A and B are shown apart, each in its own frame.
Chain A
Amino acid sequence: MSWGFLRDLLSGVNKYSTGIGRIWVAVVFIFRLLVYIVAAENIWKYEHDEFECNIKQPGCENVCFDHFFPVSHIRLWALQLIMVSTPSLLVVFHVTYRENREKRHNQKLYKSPREIDGGLLYTYLISLILKTGFEIVFLVLFYKLYNGFKVPRLVKCDIRPCPNSVDCYISKPTEKMIFLYFLVATSCLCIVLNLSELSYLIFKYSIKCYLKRVIKKRQ
């Protein structure tokens, strides 16, 4: 069980998406998942070993590291990727439900089980809103937990058992900051894609409804 599972999941979702949805899947695969696996993971690999405090007091380094990194950036990043990809499963489940229903009743109940209309449209819209919601929640969480997206070189720590105030040095702060900004940029791009897909679908189906009403009135 690894990231390959997420990749297979998203490939499945691709089939039922609109054009913008497919661009979203490509952005998530290449600019978020691939970058995470081939580059970002290695930067944070030895973050605890390389975190150094100017003190010999045993336990001080551990306590300070835990204080400044309650949840590591890289773990939050992984959680964000998982949570943001999961709402698409709702659409997959709904389509499978439709197809099973047609099989059970042995008759054509829908114009096409994969076409985004009726109940599937609402499921799709809900999945888009959830995706956007999760993105925003994680960005806010990052911002609040780490006081912005900057990674300082030096942090001052004065928690027991550290005597007085101790200088602690974070490893590779510039590289971590660059990749955090990259994460924020791709998150914002995904939010923009989700919002445009949402407005596109709402617009398309309101026009459809309006035209249907107009035709009915004429008849």
Chain B
Amino acid sequence: MDWGALHTILGGVNKHSTSIGKIWLTVLFIFRIMILVVAAERVWGDEQDDFICNTLQPGCKNVCYDHFFPISHIRLWALQLIFVSTPALLVAMHVAYRRHEKKRQFRKGDQKCAYKDIEEIRKQRFRIEGSLWWTYTSSIFFRLVFEAVFMYAFYFMYDGFRMPRLMKCNAWPCPNTVDCFVSRPTEKTVFTIFMIAVSSICILLNVAELCYLLTKFFLRRSRKAANPKHHPNHENKEETKQNEMNELISDSCHNTVIGFSS
């Protein structure tokens, strides 16, 4: 059980996302989770061992470390990634619920149900409209909120995004003021700025996706209001084209993500 399992869970959601959602998922897995696992964890690996204070007083190092790092960067990022990935589960649950309803209808032999067999229901891709639109939009909203909260918490806890080389500590039992030196401060600053930059890109992608969904929603509404008797064939053609494009993008994104995970 590790990040790979989260990838499997979220991979299922990929099918029902918009194109921007698929890009967001790829950015999340490649530039955030993968970087965290293969690089950042090594940089922060020896953080307390190599945190050195200019004193022989036992206990001073522990206390100073705890004072300056109430929660380590790496743990904060791990929590941020977990919380930011979770709203996508709401969409997964909604899709699973819809599939379950369709399966029930199919089993009852409902004539409205136009599927040939259960496999088709399992493989079907649902369009983002109706109640699924609300679930999807709220999941993006929660993602934004979590990203912003964690970025603010980071900024607030560490007074900015720079890792200083030297920290002055006078917590008891340290005698007077003691100089404490952080290990690999420049490398940590570089990775911190990288993670913050990718977080900002993810925030922008989420905002773009939200705007796209809202625009689509209002356009659809105004179209319905303008043409109460819409021509079904014309709308279907446009939507099949969009579906095809989405399928192409999803296949290429899916292959990219799978390629990296294997």
Contact = CB atoms under 8 A, between A and B. Distances in A.
A23 B97 CA distance: 12
A54 B59 contact: yes
Contacts of B5: 7, 29, 34
B93 A167 contact: no
Contact of B71 (A38, A50, A178): A178
B1 A52 contact: no
Given A34-B6, A35-B82, A54 B173 contact: yes
B17 to A, nearest CB: 18
Contacts of A63: none
Contacts of B97: 19
B1 A4 contact: yes
B79 A33 contact: no
B59 A172 contact: no
A159 interface: no
A121 interface: no
B52 interface: no
The interface size bin for chain B is: 20 to 34
A29 B1 contact: yes
Nearest to A51: B62
A167 B79 CA distance: 33
Given A30-B86, A153-B66, A172-B65, A39 B79 contact: yes
Contacts of A22: 93, 96
B70 A30 contact: no
B117 interface: no
A55 to B, nearest CB: 8
The 4 closest A-B pairs by CB, nearest first: A169-B59, A3-B1, A174-B70, A169-B62
Given A22-B96, A38-B3, A39-B79, 14 more contacts: A26-B93, A30-B82, A31-B82, A35-B79, A37-B1, A43-B75, A46-B49, A50-B62, A55-B58, A171-B66, A173-B66, A175-B72, A178-B71, A179-B75
